[in-house]
Chain A
Amino acid sequence: MDRQFLGFGLGLRTNHFQHVLDHQPDIDWFEVISENFMIGGGKPKYYLHQVRERYPMVMHGVSLSLGSTDPLDMDYLRRLKTLAAEVQPRWLSDHLCWTSQGGVNSHDLLPMPYTEEAIEHMAARIRQVQDFLGQQILVENVSSYLSYRDSVMEEWEFLQAVADRADCLILLDINNIYVSARNHGFDPDLYLQGIDPKRVQQFHLAGHSDYGDYVIDTHDHDVPDAVWHLYGKALQRFGAVSTMIERDDNIPSFEELYAELQQAKTIAQQQLPAQDLITNHGAALA
C-alpha cells in the first residue's frame, strides 16, 4: 500500500507548546489547527515554527465550509496556501460539512443532506480547493444529531461518493462514527465496511459526552472503551493508518495524552503485523 503512514500523533494545543519544546517527547507527528496560525505572527507562530523544526506536521482546518452554498472564500484559501508553504505539512484536511451561509458563521460543523445535489456541489468545491492548493486534501466525517428528510443514502455512501467524485482522501474520525451511529441508530461496522480503504489516510480518536438518549461529540473526554473497540475494527479494515488523539477541550496534561496515545499503539500492535507499523521515517514501533 502506498499510503503515507506517519505513526501515532497528537493535536498540538496551546497549553502544551512549552512542554513539547522543553521535553521533545517521543511523538511521531503533530496535527495543528490551521486557523490558529493564520495570523501575522505573535506567540502561536513562534511555537509553530519551533515545533515544526522538530516534528512532522499535518494541518487540519475547521472553517473551509466545503459544503456551504456561499462562494468559496478565496482570501482564506490564499492564507491557507501561504501557511502550508511555511509549514510544509504532510497533508491538509477539513470537514465534510458546512459552517457558514449568507456570510454568517455558525462556528459549528453542520451536517449535509445526503443527496445527489449535495455530492455534486461538495465534490466540485473540493476539486476547486485541490486545484488551488496543488494537492489532494482529506475530508473528515463529522458527528451529527439530525437527519434530513431529503437524504436518500447513508452517510458513509455520501462520504465515499464525494471522495470518489472529488478524488480526495478521507480522514476518518472513529469517535464521530460512534457518536453518529448512536444518535441515528446505525451499525458503525456498516460505516467502516462502506468506505474504500484506498481513500483513508488518517484516523482521529476522541471522547464524547453520553446523555443516554443521545451522544454529544465534545472531544473533551478520554477515548472511551467503545471507541477503542471500534478503532480495533477500523485497523482490521483499513490496516496501518496514521492515528492521532484529538482533544479540543478540557485539555489534560501532556503526559496523560501521551499515555492515551500509547494505548492506541498497543491496540495497533495487537491488530496488525509489526512490519505494517513501520512509519515512513523508517522507524518500527518498539
Chain B
Amino acid sequence: MTQLIELQKRFMAYLTEGQGSINNLVLDDDKLGADTRLGIYRNAYRLRLREAIDNDHEILGLYLGDDLFEEMVAGYTQQHPSHYRSLRQFANQLPTYLATTEPFKNHPIIAEIAAFERLLLDVFDAPEVPRSTLTELQQLAPEQWPNMQLRLHPSVQLFNARWNSVESWQQLRAEQAPEPATEQPDSLWLMWRSIERLSEFRSCEPLEWNSLQLALRGGNFADLCEQAATVMPEQQVGEVMAGQLQEWLSIGIVSQIVIGV
C-alpha cells in the first residue's frame, strides 16, 4: 500500500508537471481508463490557473492577443506553481516573469501593463479605514500644521512607468487600438480607491509624487514643504502645498492626520 504522503506527492507532481508514476495508483474500469480519469484533474488544474490569470489581466490579454497570452499562461504556470491559498495571489509574480522571460522581456511595456493591473487589484481589495476630511484640517491651529503627519489610505499605490503602458491600457479599455510602445521615462501615476469605493488613477507631477513618497515614509508637513522648496520659490511653497493637501483630502487618500511634537 502506498503511504498517503507518497500518493499525494505523486498526484501533485502529475498535476503541476503532467508526468510522474501516478497511473498505477488509480483504478481502470470498463467505463473510463485511469488516464482519462487523471486527465480530468490535470485539465481542471490548468483551466483554473488560466482563468485566474485571465480574470486578473483582461487588458493584458487584449494587448498580447490569443497566441501570446496562451504562451504566457503555459510558461508562467509551469514555472510558478501556486504557493498561495487564494487564486487572487497566483499571478503575483507575473510582472517579474514577463520582465525576465523571452519573448516578453523584449517588449518591456508588457511587464508594465501586468504590474499596473496587479496594482489595480491591490487598490480594489485594500483594507477600508475611515478617511480624514477638510473640516478636520480646518480645525487645526496654524501652529500645528508643520508637525502634522499624513497617514495615507491603504489603497494608495504609486506607479512609476517607463513606457506608455497606462495610456495603452486606457486605449484598450476604451476598445481602441493602442499606440505603438513608446519609452517615456518617469510617467508617474497615483492610484487609489475612492470614497465611493471605485478604483481610480490619475497622472502625477514630480512634486506631488515626491510629496506622497515622503508622506509614506512618515515625513511631516514641514518636511514636505522643505522638499518642495528645493524646486520652487520659497514664498510659493505654503500656498502650493496647502492646495495639494486639500486636494488629497477631497479625493479621500488621507486616512489620518496625526499631530506630532
* Contacts from A to B (Cβ < 8 Å): 35, 39-46, 63, 68-69, 73, 76, 98, 100-108, 110, 113, 115, 117-118, 121, 145-150, 183, 185, 213-214, 216
Contact call A104/B16, Cβ cutoff below 8 A = yes
Contacts A69-B8, A146-B26; A42 near B1 (Cβ below 8 A):
no
Contact call A146/B82, Cβ cutoff below 8 A = no
* Contacts from B to A (Cβ < 8 Å): 1-5, 7-9, 11-12, 15-16, 24-27, 29, 31-32, 34, 36-38, 40-41, 44-45, 48-49, 52, 81-87, 90, 124-129, 154-155, 193, 197
Q: Please classify the interface of chain B as helix (H, G, I), strand (E, B), loop, or mixed, using the class held by over half of its residues.
A: helix
Contacts A39-B127, A105-B84, A146-B26; A121 near B16 (Cβ below 8 A):
no
Give A30 to B119 CA distance when docked, in angstroms.
Answer: 31
Give A131 to B101 CA distance when docked, in angstroms.
Answer: 47
Contacts A107-B49, A146-B38; A117 near B128 (Cβ below 8 A):
no
Give A44 to B88 CA distance when docked, in angstroms.
Answer: 14
Contact call A108/B85, Cβ cutoff below 8 A = no
Contact call A45/B85, Cβ cutoff below 8 A = no
For B12, list chain A residues within 8 Å (CB): 100-102, 104, 106
Contact call A41/B34, Cβ cutoff below 8 A = no
**Apart from A41-B154, A104-B12, A115-B4, what 5 extra A-B contacts exist at CB < 8 Å?**
A35-B85, A105-B82, A108-B15, A108-B44, A146-B37
Give A216 to B83 CA distance when docked, in angstroms.
Answer: 26
Cross-chain pairs A/B with CB under 8 angstroms, 15 sampled: A40-B127, A41-B129, A41-B154, A42-B128, A46-B197, A69-B5, A73-B85, A101-B12, A104-B81, A105-B84, A106-B82, A110-B11, A110-B41, A117-B3, A149-B27
Contact call A147/B27, Cβ cutoff below 8 A = yes
Contact call A147/B83, Cβ cutoff below 8 A = no
Give A35 to B85 CA distance when docked, in angstroms.
Answer: 8
Contact call B4/A113, Cβ cutoff below 8 A = yes
For B125, list chain A residues within 8 Å (CB): 39-40, 42-44
Contact call A98/B8, Cβ cutoff below 8 A = yes
Give A129 to B227 CA distance when docked, in angstroms.
Answer: 53
Among candidates B25, B26, B44, B127, residue contacting A42 with C-beta atoms closer than 8 Å: B127
Contact call A150/B25, Cβ cutoff below 8 A = yes
For B48, list chain A residues within 8 Å (CB): 107-108
Among candidates A68, A76, A146, residue contacting B8 with C-beta atoms closer than 8 Å: A68
| Whole-angstrom distance between the Cβ of A101 and the nearest chain B Cβ | 4
For A214, list chain B residues within 8 Å (CB): 31-32, 36, 40
For A68, list chain B residues within 8 Å (CB): 8
